[in-house]
Amino acid sequence: MELVRATEAAAIRAVPFIGRGNKNAADKAAVDAMRKFLATVEFQGEVVIGEGEKDEAPMLFNGEIVGNGTGPLCDVAVDPIDGTSLTAAGRQNALSVIAVADRGSMYNPKDVFYMEKIVAGPAGRGVIDLSRPIGDNIRDLAKALDKDVEDMTIAVLDRPRHEQLIADIRASGAGTELLLDGDVAGGINAALQTGRLDMCVGIGGTPEGVITACAIKGLGGVMQTRLYPRNEQERQAALDAGHDLDRILTQDDLVTTDNTFFVCTGVTDGGLVKGVNRERDHITTDSVVLRARSGTFRRVTAVHRADKWLRDDE
Ligand code: VTB
Ligand code: MG
Ligand code: MG
């Protein structure tokens, strides 16, 4: 639960950068705040997923030790802001995220930046299959959800690489929700049994994949992924790093323990969490905490005193 303080801090510190056009400045403020707050949490974390590498963004470094140096040994995956471009533009759906699991349990996506992903809620277990055509997956999931295909909504990152995928989804009769960024929130929204999304598919960041897996385990949903090198050079690097490029990695391969925590706080408003809100002398944050072992989904609304946050030394 203490972890939520770190995502709250990152989100609050990113606020002055919302809509200011400088995504690295926003990310740096969030990274610094997260690092500082993580140092007060009772655990011995090693950053496995620092994110930011693909985007050449400021980051917590892979191998960096975080926490106060006592307590359980953990793997840590962070994305201080998923959606730095969204934040810089002042758009919706930017979040700050941390996932923590037992030491040695997180998949290390070393040298491969992208993966194909398919994510759905509990109804998709034993139903969706990354190796099958998207239209079949949509039809089968609709059946499992007892819905018409026409009532299905599929989230996809809005990227040129997804042109065919988007056409195939629409040809099946389902609708798309095109995401500017943020397939972590997209995957979680797809796995939640409330809201309009039924599935999230497409090629997205590998770090975001591992982070999403922690959340999906908490939600009892299903996720299948496969590494996606973009060119021969990345392909060779992946093989040299020992990756099996044909293997389908599920949420349980990406995080091999059920002892996982996932926390996120909204930076800007989104479908999963509201953004940071400042009113006079108070700042309100909206967060989600997911614990896989108990399957608990908590919403945490916190009210912070603005004067504490306006001082730089806090
Ligand atoms: C996604 C998305 C992120 O990177 O995983 C992604 O969730 C995919 O890469 O918000 P491209 O942007 O290069 O397509 C982000 O957009 C940024 O980390
Ligand atoms: Mg990201
Ligand atoms: Mg980021």
The span from the CA of 45 to the CA of 36, in Å, is 13
As given in the structure block, the two tokens for residue 302 are 């916190």
Cα distances from 195 to residues 16, 170, 182, 278, in angstroms, run: 30, 20, 17, 26
CATH of the domain at 99: 3.30.540.10
* Domain limit, last residue, from 239, 254, 269: 254
Q: Whose CA is nearest to atom 11 of ligand 1?
A: 204
Please tell me whether residues 119 and 101 are part of one structural domain.
Answer: no
| 229 and 156 assigned to the same domain | yes
CA distances, 110 to each of 50, 105, 229 (Å):
11, 15, 12
DSSP class of 269: -
How crowded is the C-beta side of 50, counted as CA atoms within 13 Å?
23
Whole-angstrom CA distances from 86 to 11, 27, 226, 267, 270 are 13, 11, 26, 10, 11
pLDDT of 311: 67
Distance CA 125, CA 282 (A): 43
Q: CA 224: distance to chain centroid?
A: 15
**Residue 314: in which H helix or E strand, if any?**
none
Residue 147: what pLDDT?
97
Residues 134 and 250 both lie in one domain = yes
On whether both 147 and 236 belong to a single domain, the answer is yes
Question: How far is Cα 107 from Cα 126, in angstroms, rounded to an integer?
Answer: 22
Q: Give the CATH number of the domain where residue 249 resides.
A: 3.40.190.90
Among 24, 181, 189, 234, name the best residue to mutate to test ligand 1's pocket (greatest count of ligand atoms within 8 A of Cβ). 181
User: Of all residues in the chain, what percent are helix, strand and coil, respectively (each to 5)?
Assistant: 35, 30, 35
What domain count does the chain have?
A: 2
**224 and 242 together in one domain:** yes
> Which residues are within 8 A (CB) of 306 and not within 5 positions of it... i.e. 6 or more apart?
278, 280, 281, 282, 283
Ligand 1 atom with the smallest distance to the CA of 207 is 5
* Co-location of 246 and 276 in the same domain: no
Q: pTM for the full model?
A: 0.94
Place of tokens 């975001």: 208
Binding region for substrate? 82-84, 114, 159-161, 181-183, 205
218 and 296 fall within a common domain: no
Binding residue ranges for Mn(2+): 27, 51, 79, 82, 208
Could you list the residue range(s) of the whole structural domain that residue 142 is in?
114-254
Q: Whose CA is nearest to atom 18 of ligand 1?
A: 82
Q: How far is the CA of 281 from the centre of ligand 1 (A)?
A: 35
Ligand 1 pocket mutation, candidates 82, 86, 92, 200, criterion most atoms within 8 A of CB = 82
Do 121 and 242 fall within a single domain?
A: yes
Protein residue with its CA nearest to atom 16 in ligand 1: 181
177 and 199, same domain (yes or no): yes
- Say if residue 54 is in the same domain as residue 149: no
Q: How far is the CA of 280 from the centre of ligand 2 (A)?
A: 31
| Amino acid present at 244 | D
CA–centroid distance, residue 104 to ligand 3 (Å): 23
Ligand 1, pocket residues at CB < 6 Å: 55, 82-83, 157, 159, 181-184, 204-205, 208
**The pLDDT of residue 61:** 83
Instruction: Write out the chain's pLDDT in tens, 314 residues.
Output: 789 999 999 999 999 999 999 999 999 999 999 999 999 999 999 999 987 666 777 777 888 899 999 999 999 999 999 999 999 999 999 999 999 999 999 999 888 899 999 999 999 999 999 999 999 999 999 999 999 999 999 999 999 999 999 999 999 999 999 999 999 999 999 999 888 999 999 999 999 999 999 999 999 999 999 999 999 999 999 999 999 999 999 999 999 999 999 999 999 999 999 999 999 899 999 999 999 999 899 999 999 999 888 765 55
Region for 78 from its dihedrals, namely left if φ exceeds 0, alpha if ψ lies in -120 to 50, beta otherwise: beta
Q: Minimum-distance ligand to the CA of 184?
A: 1
Looking at the fold, whether 148 and 263 belong to one and the same domain comes out as no
Task: Answer yes or no: do 77 and 132 share one domain.
Answer: no
Q: Is ipTM beyond 0.85? A: yes
For CA atoms 107, 112, 116, 117, give the dihedral sign: positive
